[in-house]
Structure 1
Amino acid sequence: MSLSHTRSDAHSDTRSGSFTAHDGTRLAYRSMGEGEPLICLPGGAMRASVYLGDLGGLAATRRLILLDLRGTGDSEVPADRATYRVDHQVADVEALRVHLGLERMDVLAHSAGGNLAQLYAAAHPGRLRALVLVTPTAWALDVPVTPELRLEAAELRAGREPYDAAIAAYRTILDGGGGDAEWDLAMPLFYGQWDDAARAHAAAGVEEQNEEAAGVYAAPEAFDPPATRAALQEVTADVLVLSGELDGNPRPEPAARIAALFPYGVHDVQPGAAHFPWLDDAPWFAARVERFLAGAEAEAGARTRV
């Protein structure tokens, strides 16, 4: 593996690397921190991985490998735009594993990236040592998040601004209306605290997301939930599904259902957190994920892997 130095921070150097996917597309990633590697798959869908930051300081104990999915960040746009579909990108994750020389790997996936991780787990169950699904969607498993559940979470903030305006805008969006102005108003609902850091994070998302790719990513043809659910029974890795107390995508109840579809799945709720929990309480998030990963390492030698 060849990594080029790009910058340093309080934790360690951040380096960039690249590899070539099966179809010739050059894919990029950044390596941040020291310790055991943790492959990080971004959501969005199709948002450049820079928005993950150092995952609340997790880079202090783990070497984060932050993948830019094809057509995002520093990764190339593929010749065939149909390969933006999430099931086609499973091969990209496997190519990264091979490139890094990992027999088995720890993976963290956020939001829509959870679907990529779920499909990877189904296709390569023996290649996972641990899996962390952070506020994941689960179209791949047919665990829906309904408008009613999204509003249930939103209304936990009712009674003060900017949340009352955000709830009204979100209701319009969920009813099938609204545009950029409504999404801007609704943004506070996706963060535990609507502070300057959250505002900057939300504003950056417009430039970091490949909207064309996002429109292809979750095409219905990408998913066969019964087959994926059945394949997940072969996953012997420990799996943590982490939801946010204030998040509507997913609410804790659907998140618990996702965890239950894995033989060794557990669910936890981060208090006061919404869709980006590492921003809402970085120490809590980093400590919970590190504790889980350390436990998964201890269990890894005790289980027979497929």
Structure 2
Amino acid sequence: MEPHAAHTSRYVSYDAAELAYRVLEARTTDAPGASGPPIVCLAGGPGRDAAYLGDLGGLDARHTLVVPDSRGTGDSPPAADPRGYAFPALAEDVEALRDHLGLDRFALLAHDAGCATAQAYAALYPHRVSHLVLVAPGSRLQGELPTDAEEIFESRATEDWWVDAYVAVHSLADTHDFTEARALLRRAAPMGYARWDAPQQAHAASEDGQLHPVPRIAFWQGVDEPARLALLDHLRSATFPLLIVTGDRDAITGVRAGELVAASFPAASRTEVRTLYGVGHYPWVDEPEMFRPVVEDFLAR
């Protein structure tokens, strides 16, 4: 499926900051769902340019995608206050975007760390969410860090890239230089994919210039334990349908974290936890023809 150009626009957030977002118009305007509310798509990292989401494996074939650049990434300016990078504050940027777009309710999709922002938004504004899709979420917000991602990583020790990635991963904890950290992340990149073929290598190559240190570091800061527990308490009463997508070869967040996140939404009208096989942390890169129909089917119902 050939990519098509996205147009960039700006909106004014709660503190008068002008933030950027891109719109990928639905390709097939007569397809089911194409004329409905767009999908707002949040990038992870944290602090990574949203460009890595691409068109999410062709999800724009039937849905208009709205992809915001969070503060300090892409075409959005840095936050005036570092607290603006924390994920609950980024959720307020999402609300400002919703108001700018004139949407009453909308589908919200997030990947990786962006899932924390999406959950914060869902906790604060549940009446605005028609569907919530969380792709490869971690469970730091839930206060638990399962070990199955490490087990998946260890199970891939026979792959050619593994030894170098292992050294890089275990060196990250000891580095405080972001340039060095970028180089280590580049070496560890294969662990995020189900295989290390040309499409995966091309996708990983973009990460180097897409990570921003301050937004990355500040994403989890300033959120104390009472605030975290309050967000989780709000999620318990959320009733919109929830889809969580994980990959059985995801050595970054694993599978179990998605199950823990799903348990935070006991009142959801429908909960689907889909583990895709032969898929890593970026399912739209590894298996777009598997990933896209799962999301489309969920939104159509």
TM-score by length of 1: 0.86
Quote the Cα distance in structure 2 between the aligned partners of 1:287 and 1:104: 22
Would you say 1:29 and 2:21 are equivalent positions?
Answer: yes
Selected match of 1:245 from 248, 252, 262: 248
Extract structure 1 runs of 4+ deviating beyond 6 A: none
What is the match of residue 255 of structure 1? Answer: 258
Alpha carbons of 1:151 and 1:168: their partners in 2 closer, same or farther (altered >3 Å)? farther
Judge conservation of contact 1:44–1:209 (CA < 8 Å) in 2: yes
Of residues 192-201 and 264-273 in structure 1, the stretch that sits farther from structure 2 once superposed is 192-201
Opposite residue 281 of structure 2, the aligned amino acid is H
The C-alpha deviation readout for 1:82-112, integer Å capped at 9, x for no partner, is 2111111121000111111110010000000
Judge conservation of contact 2:3–2:55 (CA < 8 Å) in 1: no
Of residues 60-69 and 259-268 in structure 1, the stretch that sits farther from structure 2 once superposed is 259-268
Opposite residue 120 of structure 2, the aligned amino acid is L
Would you say 1:203 and 2:205 are equivalent positions?
Answer: yes
Would you say 1:14 and 2:16 are equivalent positions?
Answer: no
Quote the Cα distance in structure 1 between the aligned partners of 2:13 and 2:258: 32
SS, match of residue 150 in structure 1: helix
Structure 1: any 5+ residue segments left out of the alignment? Answer: 1-8, 296-306
The C-alpha deviation readout for 1:199-239, integer Å capped at 9, x for no partner, is 22222112112211111111152663322221012211111
Structure 2: any 5+ residue segments left out of the alignment? Answer: 27-33
What is the match of residue 82 of structure 2? Answer: 81
What is the match of residue 300 of structure 1? Answer: none
Quote the Cα distance in structure 2 between the aligned partners of 1:66 and 1:13: 13
Of residues 201-210 and 104-113 in structure 1, the stretch that sits farther from structure 2 once superposed is 201-210
What is the match of residue 280 of structure 1? Answer: 286
Query: 1:139 offset after TM fit, Å?
Result: 2.4
Quote the Cα distance in structure 2 between the aligned partners of 1:210 and 1:168: 23
Query: 1:76 offset after TM fit, Å?
Result: 1.7
Alignment of 1:92-171 (within 5 A): 92-145=93-146, 148-171=147-170
What is the match of residue 294 of structure 1? Answer: 300
The C-alpha deviation readout for 1:140-170, integer Å capped at 9, x for no partner, is 222324xx43320102212231123323433
Quote the Cα distance in structure 1 between the aligned partners of 2:215 and 2:206: 17
Quote the Cα distance in structure 1 between the aligned partners of 2:97 and 2:143: 27
What value does the CA root-mean-square deviation take over the aligned residues?
1.9
Judge conservation of contact 1:153–1:248 (CA < 8 Å) in 2: yes
Query: 1:130 offset after TM fit, Å?
Result: 0.2
Query: 1:266 offset after TM fit, Å?
Result: 2.1
Quote the Cα distance in structure 2 between the aligned partners of 1:79 and 1:225: 24
Judge conservation of contact 1:87–1:222 (CA < 8 Å) in 2: no
What is the match of residue 196 of structure 2? Answer: 194
SS, match of residue 40 in structure 1: strand
SS, match of residue 58 in structure 2: helix
What is the match of residue 304 of structure 1? Answer: none
SS, match of residue 139 in structure 1: coil
Alpha carbons of 1:234 and 1:164: their partners in 2 closer, same or farther (altered >3 Å)? same
Judge conservation of contact 1:143–1:258 (CA < 8 Å) in 2: no
Opposite residue 65 of structure 2, the aligned amino acid is L
Judge conservation of contact 1:260–1:266 (CA < 8 Å) in 2: no
SS, match of residue 202 in structure 2: helix
- What percentage of residue pairs aligned between the two structures are identical? 34
Alpha carbons of 1:230 and 1:170: their partners in 2 closer, same or farther (altered >3 Å)? same
- The structure that is helix-richer by fraction is 1
Of residues 246-255 and 55-64 in structure 1, the stretch that sits farther from structure 2 once superposed is 246-255
